[in-house]
């Protein structure tokens, strides 16, 4: 809503945005946050699919997790998918997958072509003439 207010003899214009909370979004939020801290539950072992891996890769998924949860994810990748990786720590921990294990990610069919560089592949665009 666009609004005009008068203060100190001047007109001040502003924009107010009102949103609604949706119960389904609140439920999703509660799956990943406890006391405003981002977490990963142990059930992720059963829920982590190749589609979920693709999404995680696309959004740089480990940037806001603590080292404890990144180690847990690495263990899942090694045990469930035989994808060997390590942690590289910059200002936050990230998962580094060894090059020879990249084909095992099998996330390529679920990723947009512009994200292929994250799998070590050159972006390829086929032009139709």
What is the domain partition of the chain in residue ranges?
A: 35-118
Nearest 5°: CA angle at 27, between 38 and 79? 55
Residue 17 structure tokens: 């945005």
Q: Is 118 exposed, middle or buried (0-12, 13-18, 19+ CB in 10 A)?
A: middle
Band of pLDDT at residue 73, cut at 50, 70 and 90 = very high
35-118: CATH number? 3.10.28.10
Residue-wise pLDDT for 8-34, tens only, equals 788 888 887 777 777 777 887 888 888
**Residue with the two structure tokens 């512009």:** 114
Q: How far is CA 84 from CA 8, 20, 75, in A?
A: 65, 43, 9
Q: Which two tokens stand for residue 14?
A: 């502003």
């Amino acid at each position: 809503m666009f609004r005009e207010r008068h203060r100190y003899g001047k007109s001040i214009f502003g924009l107010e945005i009102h949103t609604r909370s949706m119960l389904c979004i609140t439920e999703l939020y509660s799956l990943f946050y406890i006391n405003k801290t981002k977490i990963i539950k142990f059930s992720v072992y059963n829920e982590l699919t190749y589609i979920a891996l693709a999404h995680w890769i696309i959004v740089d998924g480990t940037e806001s997790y603590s080292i404890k949860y990144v180690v847990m994810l690495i263990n899942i990748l090694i045990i469930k998918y035989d994808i060997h990786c390590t942690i590289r720590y910059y200002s936050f921990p990230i998962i580094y997958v060894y090059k020879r294990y990249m084909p095992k990610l099998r996330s390529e069919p679920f990723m947009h072509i512009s994200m292929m560089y994250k799998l070590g592949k050159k972006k390829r665009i086929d032009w139709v003439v």
